[in-house]
A and B are shown apart, each in its own frame.
Chain A
C-alpha cells in the first residue's frame, strides 16, 4: 500500500508547526505516525505535507505539580510507566498500557491519539472521566478545552486547522478509587467497549462518581445516569445493577457497532463492564 506523494518537513518549534499548518490546509501534523500513516497508506487521508513535531522538546515530558501535565508527544509507553501518572491517575496508565502492542505504545502519542479521536481508543475514556483539560496552541495564542467538550464525534474533535495540542492536564485523583477496563476487539485490540470510573469514597459509601464510556459510542462520553446511580450508594449489587442499566440508557443515542459486535451487544456490555470497572476500582 502506497500513500499519495507528500512533502515532509520537520518543525523547528511549536510556532513553526502552527504556522506551517495554518498557511497550508493541505498540511498535517505528524506525531508518532501510528494513526496517520496507516490512514495515508489506505488513502483515507491524503495530506500534501507532513509537519513532524516528534522532536519538539516543548511537547515532551510528564510533570506532577498539583495537577498532572502530560506533554502531547508523550508516548503510551512513557505514560504507562510514569510514576507521576501512577500516582495522580493510575487508570490513565492502565489505559495507555492497554493500547495496541509494544510498537504502537512506543511510537503512538497521547496527543496523536486524542487528535485522531478513534471512537474505539482507550485513553480518551479515562481523560473524560478524569475531567482532564486539553491545552491547545494556535497562531492567536493558547486555549484550553475540557476533555468532555473536546471529543465530538467519530474522528471529530474540537481541534481546528492550525492548532497543536501541547499538553494534557489531569487533576490529582490520588485520593480516589479508579479503574479502566475494556473488552478488546480480538482482531485490532481496540475497545469494543471501555469503561472508566473514578470514585470518591467516604468509608464504604461512594460520595461521588465519574463514569465515562468509549468503544461502544461514537466518542468517549460521560454517563451521568450511571454516575447518579453510584453516587451516594454503598456500591452494593443493587446500586451496581441500577448503574449498569443507567449506563445503557446514557449511551443509547450515541451507540456505535459493527457487523461482528453490533450496537445492542456493545450496549449490553457497557453495563457488564461498568460493574467490572467499579469492582476493579475497589480492588
Chain B
C-alpha cells in the first residue's frame, strides 16, 4: 500500500507559532516571585580570587542577594558539572565567580557591575602548545578532572582502541590515546606518494539564535526542583541536576521548553548551578545568557591540530594513514580527540594506520558538542589530502575517493565491520551531477569546483512513546523528546501512517520528565531513527487496541477490519462503520466495558545506521582580495527514507550553511592573555543569507534496517564535508591548498602569494 503520511512534505507543527511570535521560550516564562540571575565572570584567564566584595552590589535597589561559591555546597569539578561558581581560583575568562539575584533584569545587570573582585593573576596557558610546553603552568595540579562523555551524550560511537589510553598526571595533557593496525612505517616506506601536512581548525561556536536559558523552581518539601530549560536532553538534565543537588532524580522534574537552536550546545551546562541557586534562596531563579556571555562562557567546538601523513600507490590505493590529533578542550577534557582519530581511520579503511590523540586542557572555556563533533575537521583533513593525492597522481579525485571509500563490511578502525551504508552511492551521484561534469569543461574564469564526502556513524539510545485515542477521534502521541529539528512533526506523520489516520488527526504532545516515558537527548542524528521507531510501535499497538474493540462491536475478526477516513469498517463493507471517536468514547465512559486506548511503544535499537553526504562546491575566488564566494553548493545525502522531505531538506540546507561557516568565516579568537576577541556577532561571523550559496539538495534513500520506514539520521552529515568541498574547489580554482580553517580572505590571499613565489 502506498504511504499517505510518510514521505509527504509536511510543514512544521510549531511553524506558525514560531513565525507569529506565539512560541514561549524560557526567556518568555515568568513565575511569581521569580528572581533574575546575572553572572559575574572572570576577566582573567587564570587567577586566584583573593576577595569578593558584594557590599556595593547588595545596595542596588531590587537586588535580593549575591551568591558566591561559599554560599553553595561543594561540587567536585568535572566535565559534566563544568559551570559551577569558581572557588578561590578562576580558570578562564568568563568563568562565573558570583551570581546576582534581583527582582529585575536591569537591577541584576546594574549590580553585577558592582561586585568587586580582587584577583591575583596567575600564568595562564592559552594555546595547546603553551599547555604542552615543558615548564607550563599546570591548570589542575591535583590531576585533570574526568567524567566527560560529551561524545557519548551526543550519541556518537566513540569506538577506537581505548586500551592505549594513557592518563597523565601533573600535566595539562588530559590523556593520550593510541591505536594502530598493520605496519605504518613499512607501508609509508613502500608508498609511491606520501603527503604530509599539518592542519588546524579553530574553536567554533554553535551560535544558535536563542541563548542558553534555565529556570528552576525549588520544592521546599522534597528538596528537589522543577525546571524549564532550553535543552536537547530533559532526561539528561534531570540526572545531572539530581546528582549535583543531591536528591533522587525522581525529585527533579524537567520541562523542555521550546528550543531556539541548540546544535549540540544544549546538553547541559548551567542547569545544576541554577538549581543550586534556587534552592539556596528558596525562590524561582531564571538565567538567560546574553549574547556576549553565550560566546564567552558556554561550550563551543574545540580547536584542533592534525599532523597527518598518508601513503598511496600509483594506482591510487591508500596504504597508510599516520595521524596525530591534538585537541584543545579548554579547562575540562572531553575525549573528543580519540573519537576524531577513530573516524580518521574508518572512512577510508586502510591496512596500515597509526593514530595518536592527545587531549590538552587550557585556560579557555570548555569544549562541547557541535553538530557532528570533530567530523568537519576529520573530513577536511582526509578529503583534501586525497584530493591532493589524486591531483599528484593524475587521477580524477572522485575516482580515487570512490576506490578507497568505506563500503559495507569494510573494517572500521576498531576492526568491526561497517554496517549497511551509502558512502559510495553518494559519490556516484556526484559523478552524474552536471555541476561536477562542468569541472573540466565550461567553468567560469576564477571559478573552481570541488567535491567531498563525509558521514556520521548514527547515534542510538533506548526510548519509549505513548499513543492514546481521544473521544474526538484524535490520536495523541506523547514523548519526552525535546522538539528540535521538527521531530514532533515527523512523529505525527509516523503515528498517522502506522495507525492509519490522517496526519491532521494526530496531536503530538511533549511531556516533561515526570509524565513522559524515557527519551534520549535530541542529538547525534538519532531521534527519528530510535524514538521514531517507538512512536511507530505505539501507534501500531493503539491500532490493535482499537480494532479489538471494533471487532467485538461488529462481532468480526480483527483481521477483517480496516481503518478508513477515521472510521473502522469491515473490509469492503463501507456501510458498516464505527467512528474512531466512538470507540474511544466506549472506552472512556462510566460503566464502559473496554479499557481505554493507551499504547506503549519501546525500542532499544542497537544497530547504527551511518548516514553519508557528498557535496559539490563551486566557488569564485577573488585573486586580488582572497575572498571566496560559494556560487553553488550541491548536497547529496543518503537519508534512508525521507519521512518529511521538507524537514529533511531544511536540515540539510542548515547544516551546509553551517559548513560554509566552518569553511570560510567562523573562528573564536583569543589573545595571548586568554581574552576572547570575538565576543559579539559583530566580530564572529555566523553565515547568513548573504554568505549562503544557492543550495541544491538531492536525497537518496538506501533504507536502514532498523529505522522507521528505513529512515536514518540526517542531522550531522550535511555539515561534515562542506569545508573540504570548498577547500578542494579553491584548489581547483587557484592551485592553492589551504590547511587552516577558516579559509578567510587574508589567508587565501596569503596562500596565493605563497604559491606564486
Contact = CB atoms under 8 A, between A and B. Distances in A.
Interface of A: 1-2, 4-5, 42-43, 183, 185-190, 258-262, 265, 268-269, 272
A187 B677 contact: no
Contacts of B686: 187
Given A187-B682, A258-B677, 20 more contacts: A2-B106, A2-B109, A5-B110, A183-B625, A186-B691, A187-B665, A187-B681, A187-B683, A187-B685, A188-B682, A189-B690, A190-B682, A259-B669, A259-B677, A259-B678, A260-B744, A260-B746, A261-B745, A262-B746, A265-B749
7 contacts: A1-B290, A2-B106, A2-B110, A4-B110, A260-B744, A265-B746, A272-B624
A260 B110 contact: no
A268 B685 CA distance: 22
Contacts of A188: 682-683
B667 interface: yes
Contacts, number: 58
Contact of B106 (A5, A42, A268, A269): A5
Interface string B663-684: 0110101010000011001111
Contact of B665 (A5, A186, A265, A269): A186
A215 to B, nearest CB: 13
A interface secondary structure, majority? loop
Contact of B292 (A1, A185, A186): A1
Given A1-B292, A2-B105, A187-B681, A260 B749 contact: no
B391 interface: no
A186 B667 CA distance: 12
B665 to A, nearest CB: 5
Contacts of A5: 106, 110
B113 interface: yes
Contacts of B691: 186
B232 to A, nearest CB: 25
Contacts of A259: 669, 671, 677-678
Nearest to A257: B746
B682 A1 contact: no
A187 B684 contact: yes
Contacts of B291: 1
A216 to B, nearest CB: 13
Q: Which of B290, B291, B624, B665 has the most C-beta atoms of chain A within 10 angstroms of its own C-beta?
A: B624
B746 A261 contact: yes
A186 B628 CA distance: 11
Nearest to A42: B292
Nearest to B749: A265
A1 to B, nearest CB: 5
A44 to B, nearest CB: 11
Nearest to A192: B745
Nearest to A276: B624
Contacts of B627: 183
Q: Would you list the 4 A-B pairs with minimal beta carbon distance, nearest first?
A: A187-B685, A188-B682, A2-B109, A265-B746
Q: Which of B113, B667, B745 has the most C-beta atoms of chain A within 10 angstroms of its own C-beta?
A: B745
Nearest to A271: B624
Contacts of B665: 186-187
A186 B683 CA distance: 9
Nearest to A273: B625
Nearest to A261: B746
